[in-house]
Amino acid sequence: MTRRALIRIDRYTRGAILLHWAIAALVLVNLTIGLLHESLLRGVAGAMPLHLSIGIAVLALSLARIGWRLAYRPPPPPIALSALERRAAAATHIGFYALLLILPLTGWMLVSGKPTSKPFGWFGLFDVPPLPVTRAVSGVAHQAHGVLGYAMAALVLLHVAAALRHHFVLRDGVLARMIPVLLPRG
C-alpha cells in the first residue's frame, strides 16, 4: 500500500472553511489597497473608504472565526509533524489571529484621531463611529498599521508557501483539510 493510500484527511468544518476563505480574500484585497493607495491608487475615488469597510469586515469575521475555533476543535494533522513544525504552525496561527484583530483596530484608530474625524460608512449600509482616541494615539496607530501590514503580507506569503509545500512536495493532505473542494493530489 502506498503512503498516499494510508492518509486519512479529517477536514475543518464548513463554517471554519467559509470564514477562512472569506477572511483570506478580504485580507488580500485590503493588503493590495493598503500597499498601493499612495502610488497606483492615488486619487482613485473610493479606494480608502473600501479599505476601511473591508477592515471592519475583517475584524468582525475574525472575531467570529475565533469564536468558531473555540467552539469547534480543529482536526488533527493527517501526518506526524516534528516539534519544530508544530511550533512554527502554532506561531503562524497566533500571529494571524493577532494581526487580524490589531490591523483593523489600528486602522480604525488612525482615522479616528484626525481633527476631521467623523463616522465612516460601512459599505454604505451604516456608519461606523470614530474611536475615542487622541491625535497622538492616532499617529502611533498610523505607524503601527503600516508596519503590521507588511508583517501580514509576509505571514500570508509564508502561509501560502507552507500550504503549497504540504500539497505538492510532501503530498500529506494538510492543504486538503481547508480547501472547499478537494484538489486532485497528483
Nearest to 26 by CA among 121, 103, 124, 125: 103
Taking residues 87-98, report their average pLDDT: 95
- Whether 157 shows a pLDDT value over 90: the answer reads yes
Q: How many domains does the chain have?
A: 1
Measured distance CA(53)–CA(120) in Å, rounded:
8
Inside any domain, residue 168: yes
Element (H, E) at 163: helix 135-164
**Who contacts 57 (Cβ-Cβ below 8 Å, separation ≥6)?**
26, 122, 123
Q: What is the pLDDT of residues 26-68, one digit of tens each?
A: 999 999 999 888 887 777 878 899 999 999 999 999 999 999 9
Nearest to 179 by CA among 8, 4, 18, 7: 18
Inside any domain, residue 3: no
Nearest to 53 by CA among 24, 38, 33: 33
Inside any domain, residue 112: yes
Higher-scoring residue by pLDDT: 10, 18: 18
Inside any domain, residue 182: no
CATH number of the domain enclosing 142: 1.20.950.20
User: 68-93 burial, b for 16+ CB within 10 Å, e for fewer?
Assistant: beeeeeeeebbeebeeeeeeeeeeee
Q: What is the pLDDT of residues 101-149, one digit of tens each?
A: 999 999 999 999 988 889 999 999 999 999 999 999 999 999 999 999 9
> How far apart, in Å, are the Cα atoms of 105 and each of 83, 88, 133, 172, 183?
33, 26, 12, 37, 35
Residue 12: other Cβ atoms inside 10 A: 18
Band of the pLDDT at 185, cuts 50, 70, 90?
Answer: very low
- Whether 183 shows a pLDDT value over 80: the answer reads no
Whole-structure pTM over 0.85, yes or no?
Answer: yes
Inside any domain, residue 147: yes
Inside any domain, residue 1: no
C-alpha cell at 169: 512536495
Measured distance CA(96)–CA(92) in Å, rounded:
6
Inside any domain, residue 55: yes
Measured distance CA(166)–CA(170) in Å, rounded:
5
C-alpha cell at 150: 507588511
Per-residue model confidence (pLDDT) at position 172 = 86
Inside any domain, residue 4: no
Average per-residue pLDDT in the chain? Answer: 89
Per-residue model confidence (pLDDT) at position 54 = 98
Range of the domain at 149: 9-177
Per-residue model confidence (pLDDT) at position 175 = 87
Taking residues 155-178, report their average pLDDT: 91
